[in-house]
Amino acid sequence: MGANVTFDLRLLREVSLVWQRLLAEAPGTTLYHRQSWIELIVRAYHLPIWLATLRRNETVVSGCLLARSKNPVAPRFVSLPFSDNCPILALDSEAADALLDALIAHPSFGTACEIRGVSAVPPWHTVECFVSWRLNFDRPLSCIERGLDTNFRRNLRRATQQTIKIDRGNGTDYVKRFYAMQLQGRRRLGLPPQPWRFFKLAQEIFAPRGDLDVWIARQGGEDLAAAVFLRDGDCIHYKWGARGDHGAQSSANHLLFWSAIEDFAGRASALDLGRTDVRNDGLMRFKKALGATASPLPYSYYPRVPAQASSEVLTGTRRLVARIWRKLPISATEMLGQAIYGLLA
């Protein structure tokens, strides 16, 4: 770094005004940079958030949010745990690159570091197995409907014939209904569920401002599928989805998403469908069938890439654990999820 460039690493609560100024000035701000999302992560998992900044002539030109993972096996700083995409915010590309260099030169980063949404040059290592899906609402709804693929349309008609109904709300009762299906779906996948406390806090933080919606597809009094959406400005984020055991083979999800698109298209600029591992064929097909567009979502690691960079494609020991997990009672998966999920950042 030059004589007029300085690196600083402090707890975010000590320099929150610095971060707010950078949010207002730098391009590329996402939901995951916002105070509401940071509050959710801090309160749910008790992770202190740090802010790394680079100053040029006393002006902050780049910044990065970081939290230290609680995983005792693979401790590292992450930007940001439980978040799809939290890249460095910078006034220019040179400032972003300089901050990446400064991060790994700092003594605190002698173990490991992970930055989500950044393609960094060596000695960083970049993984490119993720994409981010987005459906823009910059055209009439009729055009968006024509963008649905043939199979999606077929499933949409089938759902209508099955008299599946769509219900929506943002109260705790709706979040509980979603969570019941989340437990079932995560067990089918062989993955631990996020704790109930996380979703309860999301409802408490986002719902009072009208920034959280839970959509539920039901038939004959039984919930089949659910989706939780968060609003960030004029962009809607599909954040969490779930299908109950009886909804896994139905077309309820197709009707659920199209109903949400019909509603959001008139009052938002886009629907962000989140991160997907390109090897997850089913999820890739579903999001493409909606007419969404995929963009690369690189993750960069220092000093090396972890053995399991993605939870969507399980290998080795995690695949074996998943087989065991699928056989556990729902109550056991819920308790274990509460105990260990915070260690999985």
pLDDT per residue over 190-243, tens digit each?
999 999 999 999 999 999 999 999 999 999 889 999 999 999 999 999 999 999
**Each residue's pLDDT tens digit, 301-320:** 999 998 878 888 877 788 88
**Each residue's pLDDT tens digit, 223-237:** 999 999 999 999 999
Domain ranges for the chain: 5-118, 132-295
Q: For the chain, what is the mean pLDDT?
A: 93
Residue 56 has pLDDT above 60, yes or no: yes
Q: What is the pLDDT of residue 166?
A: 96
The model's confidence at residue 3, banded by pLDDT at 50, 70 and 90, is: low
Residue 110 has pLDDT above 80, yes or no: no
Of 9-18, 21-30, 154-163, give the lowest mean pLDDT range.
154-163
Q: What is the pLDDT of residue 342?
A: 84
Residue 250 has pLDDT above 80, yes or no: no
Q: What is the pLDDT of residue 1?
A: 56
Which pTM does this prediction carry? 0.94
Q: What is the pLDDT of residue 106?
A: 84
Residue 2 has pLDDT above 80, yes or no: no
The yes-or-no answer to whether 5-118 and 132-295 have a common fold is yes
Q: Percentage of the chain surpassing pLDDT 90?
A: 81
Instruction: State whether CATH 3.40.630.30 applies to domain 5-118.
Output: yes
Q: What is the 3-state secondary structure (H, E, C) of the chain?
A: CCCCEEEEEEEHHHCHHHHHHHHHHCCCCCHHHCHHHHHHHHHHHCCCEEEEEEEECCEEEEEEEEEECCCCCCCCEEECCCCCCCCCEECCHHHHHHHHHHHHHCHHHCCCEEEECCCCCCCCEEECCEEEEEEECCCCHHHHHHCCCHHHHHHHHHHHHCCCEEEEECCHHHHHHHHHHHHHHHHHHCCCCCCHHHHHHHHHHHHHHCCEEEEEEEECCEEEEEEEEEEECCEEEEEEEEECCCCCCCCHHHHHHHHHHHHHCCCCCEEEEEEEECCCHHHHHHHHHCCCEEEECCEEEECCCCCCCCCCCCCHHHHHHHHHHCCCCHHHHHHHHHHHHHHHC
Region 132-295: CATH code? 3.40.630.30
Q: Percentage of the chain surpassing pLDDT 70?
A: 97
Q: Which residue has the higher pLDDT, 287 or 3?
A: 287
